Each structure stands twice: as C-alpha cells, then as structure tokens.
Amino acid sequence: MAALFAEDSGTRDATISQDWPHHHARAWLGDQIAHDRKILLVAETAGHAGYLAGEVLPPSAMRTVSVAVLISMYVRPHLRGHGIGRSLATVFRDWARALEAERLSVTAHASNTDAVRFYERQGFARREVQLESAVD
C-alpha cells in the first residue's frame, strides 16, 4: 500500500500523507478482511505483485442501488501489462455480482491517464468530475 501512496497520491496530490500507510494501513487492511461486504485481494507471482481493496455499499435514500466501490488497486510497475490488474478487476466484478451489487465505481486521479485507460478497458465509464480548490 505504501508503494501506491508513493507512486500515485504522492506525485499527484500533495495533501495526501505519505506516512498514512505506515501508521494506519494495518488496521485498515484488518477492517477490510473482517467484513463480509469488503474484499481484499492479493496477487502473487514470484512475490507480492499487487492488491485490490473494495466494498459493497448498500442502497440508501440518496443512491438507490447498491454500489461496489473499488477503493484501491496497485500492481507493481514491472509487472504491469501482464494481466494481473485485469484478473484482480475480474475477481472484484464477480464478487460484487455475487453480493448483488448493481453498479461498480472507482476513482482515479485525472492526471493518471494510465489508470483511467485501464479502468475504461475494464468497462468503467467517466460519470462525474471532482473539482477541488484551496480555500485561500
């Protein structure tokens, strides 16, 4: 998880704490494992290759369908392009279907064009744009 923070958030969002994984990831990952509507997948090929974390959110008064949210995914750079990410995304989709999720959702930094392209190839479509500004 620290590698994702260093590579993605660390270079794309200065407001993200690079220390978060070192102080909080263990508890966060434990929570992912402990709940039946959350998932943590680990891909291994000659060592740790990547991971995916997600959860299924139930319908609410505002969003009337259940949504499987792909919270975080990372594949080591030297192993990208070998189908590991696609396999993780496929298992996530199958898991979401088994929990009767009606939609899938993922967020990526707009400047991370490789991630956006990857998710689009997995069937995700751009739906909204999040804009942010300093308060000044």
In a domain, 50, yes or no: yes
Mean pLDDT, 10 residues at a time, over the chain (136 residues)? Answer: 62 74 79 88 85 95 96 92 95 97 94 94 92 88
In a domain, 15, yes or no: no
Per the structure, the count of domains in the chain is 1
In a domain, 98, yes or no: yes
Check residue 88 and give its pLDDT: 97
The pTM score is 0.83
Q: How far apart are CA 43 and CA 45, in angstroms?
A: 7
Token pair listed for 124? 């995700």
In a domain, 6, yes or no: no
CATH number at residue 97: 3.40.630.30
In a domain, 57, yes or no: yes
Check residue 18 and give its pLDDT: 78
Strand order in the sheet with 67-75: 38-44, 48-57, 67-75, 103-106
